[in-house]
Structures are given as C-alpha cells and as structure tokens.
Structure 1
Amino acid sequence: MKTKLFILMAMMLSMAAYSQKNEIKAAEKALKSGDPTAAKASLESISGSISGADERLQAQYYYVRGQVFSDLAKKGDATAFDDAVNSYQQVIAVEEASGKQKYSTESQQMLAGLTSDLINAAVEDNNNKKFREGADKLYMAYKLSPQDTIYLYYAASSAVNGQHFEEALGYYEELNALGYDGSSMSYKATNVETGEVEEMNDKVQMDLMVKSGTYKDPKMERTPSKSSEIIKNIALIYTQLGQDEKALKAYKDARAENPNDVNLVLNEANLYYKMGDKDTFKSLMSEASDMAPDNPDLQYNIGVINMEQGNMEEARAAYERAIEINPGYVNAQLNLSTTYVNEGNSLIDEMNELGNSRADIARYEELKKQKDDLFLEGAQILEDALKQNPDNQGLLSQLKNIYGALGDNENFMRIKKLLGE
C-alpha cells in the first residue's frame, strides 16, 4: 500500500512539474509574440504551486515573470515595475541558495535596465504632475542602485512637489542619515570657435580638448552641497505636519549647518510665533534684520511675516525699509498700502453694528473718517509708487479699488482711464 501511495505521489509531482513547464513555455511563447498579458495569465495559473518546484524551475519561472512584468511596465503599466524587480531579485535569491546559476547574470542586467526605465517613467510622471507615482519610482530606482543616492534626493523633491510631506520627510531623513552631500565637480572649457563655455564629461575629456587646441580656459567647479537644504527641508516639513518640537530641533541643526541663512531665522521665528512665544519671535526677527539690513527682499519677507501675524506697525516699518533700499519695489509698496486698507476695513464691522442714536451717529462719523483717512494713506503710497512705475497694472488696479471704496469718482475714472478700461 505504501508503495502504491509513493508511486501515486511521484506521478502527481511529475504531472505538476510537467504542467509548470508547459505554462512557462506558453508564457515564453506569448511574450515572444508580443502578448505579455497572455504570458502573465499562463504564469498566474501556476503561481500557487511554483514554491514546490525544484530550484531550476523556480529560477526559470521568476526569470520569465520578470520579463513579462518588465514588458508590461514598458508598455505603460506603472504597477508592473515592482513585480518585475521582485521577480528578478527572486531569481538571484533562488540561484544563490541552490548554488546553480543560469539566469542570475541576465537578471542583474535586466535590473540595471529597469533602473533606467524607472527614471524615465518618473520624469514622465513628474511632467504630468503625478508626483507621488514619480517619487515611488525614483525611490525604487535608488533601492536598485543604492550607490546613486541622487535618486533618493529626487524622490524627496518629487514628494514635496506633490505635497506628500510624510513621504518626503522619510526620504530626507534617510538622506540625512546617509550623510548625503550631493555636491559634485563640474568640468568646463571655452570652445575656441564659438566662444561658448561647454561642459565636459570629466577631467580627462576636458584636458584632451584643451590639449587639442579646440578649447581653452579649463575650469573645475564644485557644485554647492545639498546637506543644509536637506536639513532645512526636514525642519519645514515638521512645521507643515504640526510637529513643532521636532521642527525646532531641526531648525537648530539647520542653523548650525548654515548659520548665515536668513530664511532659516525667519522660518524659525514664524514657528515660535505660532507656538505663542512672541518674545523669541521678535528677537529672531531682529536678528534676521541685523544679518542683512540692506537686503530689500529680506525686509519685505519680514514685513510679510509680521503682516500675517497682525503686527501692522512692524510690518509697515519693514516694508518702508524695503522701499527705502529699493524705491521701485512694487510688492512692498502694494503690501504697505494694503496694511492701511486692511486696518480701515477692520473698522467697518463696528460701523455696521451702530444704531441711529445721536451718539451712534457721531461714533459712525468718527469711524468713517478714520477709515477714509487710512484708505487715503494707502492711496497716497500707491500714487507715490506710480512715479517710479507709471504703467504698473497691479498698482493701478489696487488704487482704482481704493478710490472706488472711497466714492472718489473723479480719481476712480482717472485711474480707470490709465488702465485702458
């Protein structure tokens, strides 16, 4: 009885192996005829039993499976990349365990090709604003080729562009843990015939081109390190995610890495304001101003942050300083004007709540005069700004709106005419 059972089991195993071989051959045939979908179906029919096959058949199965999913990925099925990679990696693992290598070398080559395909697909994803998909592919490319850490950096950037901050944070923290610098050496020389500066592949090519006489003025330049940018982005993402204490630590690390980055000080100040620490906020804003007192953009940014926090006097002082440094700074002029208009608008609610009593009417007239005076202050800033930029549409549009709100029809029509309306 035992002998019959053994024979029966052997026959069943033999039939299973025969079926597996037939399906693998069918998949190979379908793949050669350009039908990866049919090839995939053949392989799926034996996927549940392949683990019981011998190592040689398993390796063949996973190798063909890798080819099938590689073909599907190339034909636009973005989900197929993961299966293709896993299949080729499984080939290598099976053959390494068995000590018999038949498909491993080709699988390694196919994995290298998949890395290139993933990068191309990720570029297309980003061009189509499919940032999460692009980030996933770039990260997969990095895992396939860990020495190319730049792919991990690009994965983080893609995730940020799509506002997938938690994924981006993971990528940036991995970069930071690796000590990723990201700087590189560039090699350039001037084309003697055209006078154009051209980039070379490496120093050897640059030296050869200069030696040939067709190029001159060789230059080697190191691109800036990305380490401080990575730390800064970690801090910004923690802030975005509402993890304030982690963000503060990240800002501390970022500032230690790049102590002269004024924007870091501004971002840190804004976080302290959000946390209710106004004293530290003011101290950091003062520090930022001292770091670059003659930088109009910095003063403008200080104005924007103070304006967002409702600190109108500080905002006005910063905008005025920006305009003092750069008299034609339109955005600072617009925002300075807006601080007065917003303050005027804030009085309207109280005006609307007043009744018809003599006291209420008197209070209404008082508030209306305050509002109109603030609007006129905002208008005068823009009138002065027009002396520098008489055709600026932004200045003219905001000025028209102010005169319209004031009921000043004469000036409203004058500005409307300047707008060409």
Structure 2
Amino acid sequence: MKKIILSVAVLAFSFSFAQKKEVASAFKAIESGDLTTANAQISAAEASLGGKTYLLEPALLEQYYYTKGIALVKAGKTSEGAEVLAKISELGKEKIYTGKNAEKQKVYFVGKAAADASGVSGLKEETYVPTTTPKIGNEVNSIINKINDETMKAYNAKSYAQAGKGFLEIYNLLKAAGSDDKLYKYYSALAYAQGNVSDESSKLFSELINEGYTGVKTEYKAKNKKTGQVENLDKNSFELYKKMGAASDYTDFKTENTPSVEQELYETAASLYVDAKKYDEALSLIDKGLAKFPKSSKLSELKGTTYYKSGKMDQFLNNLKEQVAKDPNDKVSWYNLGVLSSKDPSKLAEAEGYFKKSLEIDPAYKEALQGIIFNIYISADDKAIEAIETARKAKKTELYNRLLSERRERFAKALPYAEKWYALEPKNIEVVSLLKGLYLTSHNDAKFQELKAVEAALNAAGK
C-alpha cells in the first residue's frame, strides 16, 4: 500500500478543525449547564492549542474565554474565572491583526503589542464586536453582589489582602460584563497596599497609570423638591429631569467632577517600589511622574530616598540641591545636605551652613541640632584629645595651648545647640551627659554641678 504523507497545509487544517469542534462543543455545553462536558472539551482544546490562542479566530476565542471563565466561576474559582472573562472585553477594544505564520496557519493577534511581538509580517488590521457580554452579565450579577458584600466585610475587618482580592474580582467581572470601571481596580490596589501585599499593589498602581486612570468622574446632582435634599442621579435621569423644567421633581441641577488621584498613583506606586528595594523601577516611575507633576514634593523626596538607599550618593546630593532650589524651606533636605557634606573633612564649613539653614527654618528641629553638634563641632574630638595629649607629652607648650583653645572654641559653639536640645528633651540622658561635659570644658562650674545632679537623678530613676 502506498504511504500517505499529509502536507503541512492539511495538518494545519486538521489541527484547526479539531480546536473549533472542541471549543464549539464546550460552548454549547456551558450554555446548557453541562459543566462536566464543557470542562472536558476545553481541556481537549487547550491540549491541542498548547497556549497558542492566537490560532483561534475572534468568535471562537470569545467562546473559549466565555466557556472557561464561566466554568471557573461556577466551580468557585472566581478570581481565575473573572480574569479570563475580562479578556473578552479586550477583543472589542483592541484591533485584531490577521494573517498567516511561517507554518501557513491563520493567526489572529489581539492588540498591536502581540502582533509586533509575533514577528509575523503582512498582518491586516480588523475589528471585532463580542456577543457574549449580555450573557456574562446575567451569569455574574448575583455573584458580583455576593463578592461585594464579602469584600466590604473583609475591608471593614481590616483583612486588606482578602479585600484586595475581592475588589479585583469585582473589577474583572464588571469588565467582562461590559463595564470597565477601574475604580474597583483602584480600590484593590489601595487594599493590597494597606495589607502590605506590595508586589500586587505596585503592579496594579502601575497598570492604572499606564491605562491613563485619573479617578475623575462626573457627578450629576439635583435637589429633590419634596425632601429638599441634594441627590446624586445617573446621567440619563439628570438630563431628563432637567429638560422637564418646572414639571420635574428636581431643581438646582449641577455637575461636579471628583478630584484626580493620578498624582497619588505615582507617589504610592513609587513608594511601594522603594520599600520593595526595586530601585530601578522606582526611579523610572518617579521620573515619569515628575515630568507630569514637577511640583510633587513627595516624588522629589522619594527620588532622593531611592538614590540614597541604592548607594547613588552623588545623585542623592544633586537631588537634595534641586530640592532646596525648588523649596528653600525644606528643612529635611538642608539637614541631609549637612549630613552628606560633613562626611568630607574639606566641606565641614559648607556642612555647618546647611545645618544652620535647616535650623533657621525650624529652630526646634532636633535632628539638625544633633547634626551640627556631633557632625561639625565634636565629630573628631577623639583625635583632638589625642593631638593635645601628644603635644603635652612632647612639652610643645605653644601647640598644646593652641589645640586646647581650639577645642574649647568648638565646644563653645556647640553649647547653645546642646542647650536647645536639652530644652526640648530635659529627661534625655544623652543630652544631659553631653551638656554636662560641655559646661566642664567651658569652666562653667555652676552649670556643670547642676547638670551633674540632673544626670544622677535620671540614672537613679532608670534603675
């Protein structure tokens, strides 16, 4: 018998025909409520596809998503099902790019990104209108209400991770039913952030940014003539009642836009990336955010923090200088400039000026008081004492006296800052001991004895 050799084209046709038959059978089964058959047929189709859903024409792909999504939802796997069903709305929003691949198979790529990534040339652009959206609404309405109740209970109980999952399920189910209300996706991102599920939260915030979500929503309001209360109306009712004029039950019609949350999206997502030590992602997002919101002090501060935590000290220093140039009253940036500059012995005078600038803005800024005392005036006191002792032993009287005088001058400069710190924290043993030593060095015996007694009392109380 002559051996039969099937051509590539015939194999491709058979392969395609099998997929169509299995998906169509699965769709009919789910429509009739036969979950067992639907799942079996979808599993068979997936085994043939091997993940290559681009081989399914849009109508068939919609049936595949619908069948699989509904089956998952009915099996209690709401998150997975909602995510699959949500893909149906993308079929209607994205362009479909069709053509043939190197194996001569007909391909259907959803969206330009998928088409470009395929490497297939000569694709034609088409559109598709999903038909299962009303069916999805009928199937998931009761489920959405149930999930919403459970999600709100979880959120009020501060079970934020569970609430984040629930809000995302609601978003995907509504999207699948034809209502792409990103408010629930935003709620999910916030809940995950509150529950410290940083990876999921930052992913959702980044998606919202890339999707252009701002949170701005038009509210339609009017006063009810019978109750005198201002009520929120849907757009159609608002316009209808407004056209009715005096015959309407409402008056004082007005529209209002809710505030934009776009800047908050950038700030929160960047902060989450920093906390997760994803510094490259943080910097990329921060730069994008600052291009849109150049006056965001939060983003500028996060940029400096990212540079600092990632060890990019030169960039951190430059960022601080940019900060104080934009906001001369930013005491924290002046303080940070002082800390960084004081690490270079040749820049102590410059660092001293930065600390003083911070204290001009806030004389009670404890960190700046500590910074100027320890980083500038007494930072190298051990070396100073060593040099003084060396000069004494060598009987270099002139050098000894000069070094001793210089030390007293530094301590005299530190004294008013230490006194201010003590006034802020009179029971802090660290500042009490410091001040006692400064009074001793300055030969102020009365103050020395006073602080010595305070120190003893604090030590006794702490035992």
Using structure 2 for the length normalisation, give the TM-score: 0.51
Aligned-residue Cα RMSD (Å) equals 5.3
Distance (whole Å) between structure 1 residues aligned to residue 153 and residue 301 of structure 2: 37
* 1:178-222 residue CA offsets vs partner (Å, 9 max, x unmatched): 22111224567999xxxxx978556877998x999xx99987543
Q: Please, which of 230, 235, 244 is the counterpart of residue 265 of structure 2? A: 230
Q: Provide the residue aligned with 2:302 in structure 1.
A: 267
1:133 aligns with 2:109: no
Q: Provide the residue aligned with 1:183 in structure 2.
A: 216
Contact 1:372–1:406 at 8 Å: present in 2 too?
Answer: no
Q: Provide the residue aligned with 2:193 in structure 1.
A: 160
Secondary structure class of the residue paired with 2:365: helix
Taking a change above 3 Å as real, the CA distance of residues 109 and 289 of structure 1, as seen in their structure-2 partners, is same
Deviation at 1:170, TM superposition (A): 1.2
1:250 aligns with 2:285: yes
One-letter amino acid of the counterpart of residue 216, structure 2: S
Distance (whole Å) between structure 1 residues aligned to residue 264 and residue 140 of structure 2: 34
Deviation at 1:114, TM superposition (A): 2.6
Q: Provide the residue aligned with 2:434 in structure 1.
A: 405
Contact 1:159–1:168 at 8 Å: present in 2 too?
Answer: yes
**What is the percentage of aligned positions where both structures have the same residue?**
20
1:378 aligns with 2:407: no
One-letter amino acid of the counterpart of residue 225, structure 1: S
Write the mapping of 1:24-63 to structure 2, written as runs, cut at 5 A: 56=32, 58-59=34-35
Contact 1:303–1:317 at 8 Å: present in 2 too?
Answer: no
Deviation at 1:120, TM superposition (A): 0.9
* 1:18-47 residue CA offsets vs partner (Å, 9 max, x unmatched): xxxxxxxxxxxxxxxxxxxxxxxxxxxxxx
Distance (whole Å) between structure 2 residues aligned to residue 413 and residue 141 of structure 1: 66
Distance (whole Å) between structure 2 residues aligned to residue 317 and residue 199 of structure 1: 58
Deviation at 1:285, TM superposition (A): 2.3
Distance (whole Å) between structure 2 residues aligned to residue 270 and residue 86 of structure 1: 39
* 1:82-138 residue CA offsets vs partner (Å, 9 max, x unmatched): 963549969x99xxxxxxxxx98764232221331243134134x2xx433332222
Taking a change above 3 Å as real, the CA distance of residues 229 and 359 of structure 1, as seen in their structure-2 partners, is farther
Distance (whole Å) between structure 2 residues aligned to residue 320 and residue 222 of structure 1: 45
1:84 aligns with 2:76: yes
Distance (whole Å) between structure 2 residues aligned to residue 58 and residue 349 of structure 1: 84
Using structure 1 for the length normalisation, give the TM-score: 0.55
* 1:52-86 residue CA offsets vs partner (Å, 9 max, x unmatched): xx765635999xxxxxxxxxxxxxxxxxx996354
Q: Provide the residue aligned with 1:390 in structure 2.
A: none
Give the number of equivalent residue pairs: 313
Q: Provide the residue aligned with 2:11 in structure 1.
A: none
Distance (whole Å) between structure 2 residues aligned to residue 84 and residue 289 of structure 1: 55
Distance (whole Å) between structure 2 residues aligned to residue 87 and residue 159 of structure 1: 15
Secondary structure class of the residue paired with 2:34: helix
Contact 2:205–2:265 at 8 Å: present in 1 too?
Answer: yes
Taking a change above 3 Å as real, the CA distance of residues 346 and 144 of structure 1, as seen in their structure-2 partners, is farther
Secondary structure class of the residue paired with 1:397: coil
Write the mapping of 1:272-283 to structure 2, written as runs, cut at 5 A: 272-275=307-310, 277-283=312-318
1:239 aligns with 2:279: no
Distance (whole Å) between structure 2 residues aligned to residue 87 and residue 338 of structure 1: 53
Distance (whole Å) between structure 1 residues aligned to residue 426 and residue 354 of structure 2: 23
User: Which stretches in structure 1 are left out of the alignment for 5+ residues?
Assistant: 1-50, 63-80, 94-102, 192-196, 387-394
Distance (whole Å) between structure 2 residues aligned to residue 340 and residue 134 of structure 1: 47
One-letter amino acid of the counterpart of residue 179, structure 1: G
